[in-house]
Structure 1
Amino acid sequence: MKRTIFKLHPICQAMHARELFVAASLKCLSTGRKSLSIPQSLDVAAQLSAVDLALKPTLLYDANSASAEQVHRYLRWCQSSHLVSDSLVTLDLNGNSLILNPGATRSNLEKMLHNSGPAVIDVRHSLEKPAIMEPVRAGLKSIAQDLLFLLSGLDAAKDVDKGIYVAEGSDEWNLSAVFGLLLGYPAIYWFDQTESFENCLAMTPLTVTTASATWPAGDIDHKCCLYSFSIPAVLQNETLPSLEEWKLGLQERFQQQNILKELTVCQSAVTLPSVCL
């Protein structure tokens, strides 16, 4: 007897995935008696999907105060439910939880080592105004090498259930620059933290670039922010090549997938009395 195979309508499939993602956040990311709201759960899911699709190399988890262990359980739950690929890994960096696409992250780190990575902007408090750092500090390249070494170990690892934990030496890293590098920004901020944790961005006109997309989740179209970063307006011309290359790369990767829709990249101008990095 010939068996009939029924396939779910795409909208039903999306609704099923949405329910699984929400269930994963309720099960794994709740802190105390407080759980993520459905919009928050969908936003984390959309961000995770973007990392899985290599639209962004890394997700820095900041939806609530869930621990790195909880974020890792969330990823593994999503992977076991076949919501995202098994290649994604978690990184615990001094208590900061990140979810990485190893291939996309390696590509960004290797560009830094070959002097074709993001523009590095020096924002030390002692400077009158931000400046492009030429050449890129050796310390940043050393950090990129350390991270690449950690990721290279995944190729031979048979079990990555525990994720990656970075502790030794990372307390001396400039996390603002490290996060910008891991998140795939075309320009990252650096300051000498041995000198001061303050910066020279106060009352400095900034151009904020935001990239957003729509994640169809059944009967809900959830709009999520994929990227948001700022560049001092005074350095806009100097950083334009890096910004244009980033934008073109994002558009090309977006066209190669069919999960997220309606990519929008826009800019706005802000001037703040203080900027925390």
Structure 2
Amino acid sequence: MSAHDIFVTAARKCLSAGRKSLSASQSLDLAAQVLALDLGLKPALLYDSNGASAGQVQQYLSSLQSSQLLSKSLFTLDLNGNTLIVNPAAARLNVEQLIIHYGNVAVIDICHSLEKPTIADPMRTELKSMTQGLLLLLREMEHLREKAKEPHYTVGDESEEWNLCTVFGLLLGYPVTYWFDQTKSFENCLSMTPLSVTTASATWQADTFDHRCCLYSFSVPTVLFEDVQSKLENWSLCLHERFQQQNILKDLTFCQSTVTLPSVCL
């Protein structure tokens, strides 16, 4: 059986939710994303293709690892009912960019009370506490991985006060992430705000065909684009350097567009 067939079969076998299973195209998209994680090109992937549980996602990974198509470096993380596939080492490095190497990741305050988005201080109390907690979590996951423990982790009560929008941005490896004071409101000030959307795509050459997929997609308010441009350039340069160190994915391309939406759900 070809690698392409193994990936598709594993997705359809392990990730069915009720009568809903992944299509061949969705299975290949997931395969390319997971390969990018395994290669360290992405630190994490938020699994939202269907209603499959974290346990099912772990079964999917274990199946591919048994077929020697993936290494054993990936973890399944259940975070407040959200399932992520995580490369703990790569994710830890990205979070450390915010905590230790101050300034390499931008945090954008989009609180509803603001007239326009602003750059937030990542060392403000709420953000510092959350990112330190996230860093401890990732270090614990790395420790469990080294001890060959069960590669599945469920976050408990310690994450209840975390802003998941910010956490997801950090885990997914974005050079910018959004934050808002969720104790006051879950709404934001991005309505009708022009957003510059950056995407990074690559091609996975599976057997005799090529499959194009989007590895990253994130937005930045255009009013702040110049303020974070150096971080975006550094992020794209680092991604390009990591990309050159592997030969499974090819044709890395970056694209930017501008959108303005009546409402933005995060």
Measured against the shorter chain, the TM-score band is: over 0.9
* Structure 2 partner of 1:59: 45
CA distance, structure 1, for counterparts of residue 47 and residue 133 of structure 2: 22
Gaps of 5+ in 2: none
| RMSD between aligned residues | 1.4
Are residues 1:129 and 2:119 paired? no
Return the letter of the residue paired with 2:170.
Answer: L
* Structure 2 partner of 1:118: 105
Q: 2:234 aligns with which of 245, 259, 272?
A: 245
Are residues 1:25 and 2:14 paired? no
Alpha-carbon distance, 1:150 to partner: 2.5
* Structure 1 partner of 2:126: 139
Are residues 1:204 and 2:197 paired? no
Return the letter of the residue paired with 2:20.
Answer: K
User: What secondary structure sits across from 2:2 in the alignment?
Assistant: helix
User: What secondary structure sits across from 1:225 in the alignment?
Assistant: strand
* Structure 2 partner of 1:262: 251
CA distance, structure 2, for counterparts of residue 16 and residue 210 of structure 1: 30
Alpha-carbon distance, 1:172 to partner: 1.5
User: What secondary structure sits across from 2:50 in the alignment?
Assistant: coil
CA distance, structure 2, for counterparts of residue 216 and residue 185 of structure 1: 25
Deviations 1:116-147 (A, max 9, x none): 34100000000000000135433223222222
**Highest Rg: 1 or 2?**
1
Alpha-carbon distance, 1:174 to partner: 0.6
* Structure 1 partner of 2:168: 179
Alpha-carbon distance, 1:191 to partner: 0.4
Cα pair 1:112 1:141 within 8 Å, conserved: no
CA distance, structure 2, for counterparts of residue 189 and residue 72 of structure 1: 28
Shift of the 204–162 alpha-carbon distance from structure 1 to 2, 3 Å rule, reads: same
Shift of the 127–25 alpha-carbon distance from structure 1 to 2, 3 Å rule, reads: same
Return the letter of the residue paired with 2:115.
Answer: E
* Structure 2 partner of 1:71: 57
Normalised by the length of structure 2, the TM-score is: 0.95
Which 4+ stretches in 1 moved above 4 angstroms?
none
Cα pair 2:98 2:122 within 8 Å, conserved: no
Are residues 1:151 and 2:138 paired? yes
Normalised by the length of structure 1, the TM-score is: 0.91
User: What secondary structure sits across from 1:169 in the alignment?
Assistant: helix
Count of aligned positions: 263
